[in-house]
Chains A and B, each alone.
Chain A
């Protein structure tokens, strides 16, 4: 169990550190790379939580897909400007106060929370269970996702395509 604990603290440090780096980094490309690291770290935490399937999806869809889209958008917009996109920090105080208040509220509530009962393990074939549930109990939200993707793709293509 010490391996778990060690891995958790390592990942927690990595996550918080890379998230801070995304927010504070002066260079947009560095920020995206830090985001990729944070998303990969999250996949590690998912592994600790026995969510192997999700860890794989996280790497494919998030760290792979979203980071690629962002890099793509930066490349396109940078070419239009012809200079590196600058990062100038503003309103640090306001943001810090709101974030700190939010964090304080949530953490104090979590610490105060009565202890949860012992945790049973999920067991069974995880991927199979997820697949079955998505096709049964979660079938309506799943179908709704199809509608969402269709609307989103149509909108994205409309904005990004060049004028006729």
Chain B
């Protein structure tokens, strides 16, 4: 199939090569010439997806630090889907907003490569470097509209808090290395299993610092301060990309490190993650209700969804494990589609992302309004959507693991969140006032991406079993 030694890095390699191809094409582009750079990226993503499928069930290990187990491959496929949809939405936005196509697509692909590496890394040093690749690419993407001072401010705030949290994460790696003598997860895991009774306080320090680092990256409360600003300031299509891709990659590494390596210490970290999950669900929902800007509201909503994922992590029993991966997929598709609609409704001059801009959307853009409605219902967790099934499995996992408190908080916050999602729906359908939005044209590619996402949301909501089985098989490889 592939040459033996590098199998596990082939998906990441395909995406990196596509990024290099985009950079090369941009460098030799004649002034004013339009190149299909997005298409070049899609070729790389498809190649990566094919190689990921071929690697399935093979548990390939490369260089001893990257392991393409089914868990990593499942997340890789989710990340490739995220990148593919992002590029399809971007085709319209890049042209409309006059974004630098070469830099934009190359950075999306570099970020995707970093995310894939993070999801499949079996070594804390590689996790760190992959995290930095994706972070740096996303900092720049946040400020890609550098003529917009809000975007640059958002990029800088994101950068500062990102670098700050990376330092914590790295300090945690230092203590882990100092204890286990290696950064490889298998060796650290062996060490931790042997030490589970020793009560060495340095293990708790290492664990705490790593937890803080991950909590920043998945924007768990109280480490979420950067999220609303970064999400609001960035172009909507980039917000969609980072609210799903970064979160999925960080969550994959988080699950890998905490559910396998630090599993012997779950008695110590589970209560902390419990607190993070509860605070994240509550704050994300309560503050989300008060927002008048749709992008900012969805930023808080994505914080809250991070909280639901954390519930799955705390209740890591047989149901919970598969639920985490299913939820990751359902959330990624839904959130990306929602931000895609926001991105497509903007114009170069105005983002049109205030709640009032959506008044009467049904009368001017019925298709987009209908698609947005499905996204919002899925985010709210109403049947028959993917979001409903995801939440159902997460909460039933929490109940069967005995975490009734978390399940109750989860259900209550979901109910409250339905209110603010429905508020947007009501705005779109019930308001008679002619919409403020001058309907911009939507390209066929972007529309195809939207329709495909909506189809996926409904399909996952009606026939979740195959994907759930798939998820259960995948996560079995790391526990």
Contact surface of A with B, Cβ cutoff 8 Å = 105-106, 108-110, 112-114, 137-141, 144-145, 147-148, 150-152, 154-155, 158-159, 163
Beta-carbon contact of B126 and A154 below 8 Å: no
Beta-carbon contact of B129 and A148 below 8 Å: yes
Any A CB within 8 A of the CB of B451: no
**Set of chain B residues within 8 Å of A152, measured between Cβ atoms:** 136
**In the complex, A139→B64 CA distance in Å?**
11
Within the complex, the shortest CB–CB distance from B144 to chain A, in Å, comes to: 8
Q: Which of A109, A110, A145, A150 contacts B129 (CB 8 A)?
A: A145
**In the complex, A67→B176 CA distance in Å?**
30
Decide if the interface of chain A is mainly helix, strand, loop or mixed: helix
Q: If the complex has contacts A112-B201, A113-B201, A141-B125, are A147 and B103 also in contact, measured as CB distance less than 8 A?
A: no
Beta-carbon contact of A155 and B65 below 8 Å: no
Beta-carbon contact of A108 and B201 below 8 Å: yes
Which of B38-46, B106-114, B243-251, B402-410 is near enough to bind chain A? B106-114
Decide if the interface of chain B is mainly helix, strand, loop or mixed: helix
**In the complex, A139→B6 CA distance in Å?**
12
Known contacts A139-B63, A147-B133, A154-B106, then 11 further A-B pairs from the complex at CB < 8 Å, ordered by chain A residue: A105-B208, A109-B205, A110-B202, A112-B201, A137-B64, A138-B125, A141-B129, A155-B136, A155-B139, A158-B103, A163-B147
Beta-carbon contact of A144 and B129 below 8 Å: yes
Beta-carbon contact of A144 and B103 below 8 Å: no
222-280 of chain B: CB within 8 A of chain A: none
**Set of chain B residues within 8 Å of A155, measured between Cβ atoms:** 103, 107, 136-137, 139-140
Q: Which of A106, A113, A140 contacts B200 (CB 8 A)?
A: A113
Beta-carbon contact of A151 and B126 below 8 Å: no
**Set of chain A residues within 8 Å of B132, measured between Cβ atoms:** 148
Binary CB contact string for chain B from 191 to 216 against chain A (1 if under 8 A, 0 otherwise): 00000000011101100100000000
Beta-carbon contact of B63 and A159 below 8 Å: no
**In the complex, A141→B126 CA distance in Å?**
6
Beta-carbon contact of A141 and B65 below 8 Å: yes
Beta-carbon contact of A154 and B201 below 8 Å: no
Beta-carbon contact of A151 and B130 below 8 Å: no
Any A CB within 8 A of the CB of B366: no
Nearest-neighbor residue (CB-CB) of A159 within chain B: B146
Beta-carbon contact of A140 and B201 below 8 Å: no
Q: Which of A109, A139, A145 contacts B204 (CB 8 A)?
A: A109
**In the complex, A147→B116 CA distance in Å?**
13
Within the complex, the shortest CB–CB distance from B1 to chain A, in Å, comes to: 20
**Set of chain B residues within 8 Å of A105, measured between Cβ atoms:** 205, 208
Any A CB within 8 A of the CB of B91: no
**Set of chain A residues within 8 Å of B146, measured between Cβ atoms:** 158-159
Beta-carbon contact of A109 and B201 below 8 Å: yes
**In the complex, A106→B65 CA distance in Å?**
29
Any A CB within 8 A of the CB of B288: no
Any A CB within 8 A of the CB of B471: no
**In the complex, A141→B137 CA distance in Å?**
17
Within the complex, the shortest CB–CB distance from B19 to chain A, in Å, comes to: 8
Beta-carbon contact of A159 and B9 below 8 Å: no
**In the complex, A109→B199 CA distance in Å?**
11
Beta-carbon contact of B130 and A144 below 8 Å: yes
Any A CB within 8 A of the CB of B431: no
